[in-house]
Amino acid sequence: MNVFDLKKFRRAGLSIMTVAVLSGGAAFSTSAKADSPREDQTRYGLASGTGPLNTLLINGQPTTPKIAGNSALFVRKIAESGDTDVILLTSVGGQACDAQYSILQVTPTGIKAPTPFFGNCMTAQTSLSGSKITLKFQRNVGKYVTTPAEVDVYDLATGILTKNGKNVPSACKLDDGVCQG
């Protein structure tokens, strides 16, 4: 490995570590801490982003539909609502886009359709109020430009996803049967 490749490798590793640390610092969490940001325990088994090509596994089995991250898939249980466990999935990107997010509901009978991956490639600040999960993203428009943050809200009760107050498609569009992050 030459010096240029080593620097590129270190930079990519730093990006992934930064996302891992920042993703773990949300304002709420209802699950036991997992040993890895790539997995978390639900009431219905271990959810893990360690499947082939960074796919999601529940109890070691691929989900239907398949859900895949880019360079990695981080998994964090963020809430329980009735008999549903809510998971925040983080598709870790690379230097161009640190992270995209999806919300997944896990029930005793399986998973509900995941949301499409969303966000503006910045780290999300996550909060929960009632049945609404809010993810706020800073805008990356320049050093001296002040603009409001992007705000995505997912309503567990209705399944509606909004971006800055406007409804957006709430079911992930499948690419060859895979919800891709």
How far is the C-alpha of 6 from the C-alpha of 165, rounded, in Å?
43
Query: Quick one: pLDDT at residue 90?
Result: 96
Matching residue, tokens 């999601």: 56
Answer yes or no: is 107 within a domain. Answer: yes
pTM exceeds 0.75: yes
Residue 145 CB coordination number (10 Å): 8
Higher pLDDT, 71 or 32: 71
11 has pLDDT over 80: no
Give the total number of structural domains in the chain.
1
* Amino acid present at 90: T
Measuring CA to CA, which residue among 111, 102, 103, 24 is closest to residue 59? Answer: 111
Answer yes or no: is 134 within a domain. Answer: no
| Measured CA distances, 51 to 59, 90, 100, 141, 146 (Å) | 11, 14, 18, 35, 40
Alpha helices in the chain (DSSP H): 3-23
96-130 pLDDT, tens digit each: 888 999 999 999 999 999 999 999 888 889 999 99
Answer yes or no: is 96 within a domain. Answer: yes
Most confident of 65-74, 139-148, 149-158: 65-74
Of the pLDDT bands very low, low, confident and very high (cuts 50, 70, 90), residue 10 is very low
Section 15-39 average pLDDT = 51
Answer yes or no: is 87 within a domain. Answer: yes
Domain extent, residue 43, equals 3-117+172-180
Query: Quick one: pLDDT at residue 147?
Result: 66
Backbone dihedral angles phi then psi of residue 122, each to the nearest 5 degrees: -100, 165
Answer yes or no: is 144 within a domain. Answer: no
How far is the C-alpha of 88 from the C-alpha of 114, rounded, in Å?
10
Query: Quick one: pLDDT at residue 63?
Result: 96
Answer yes or no: is 31 within a domain. Answer: yes
Q: Which of 3-7, 87-91, 94-98, 140-144 has the lowest mean pLDDT?
A: 3-7
User: 82-106: buried (b, 16+ CB within 10 Å) or exposed (e) per residue?
Assistant: eebbbbbbbbbbeeeebbbbbbbbb
Query: Quick one: pLDDT at residue 69?
Result: 96
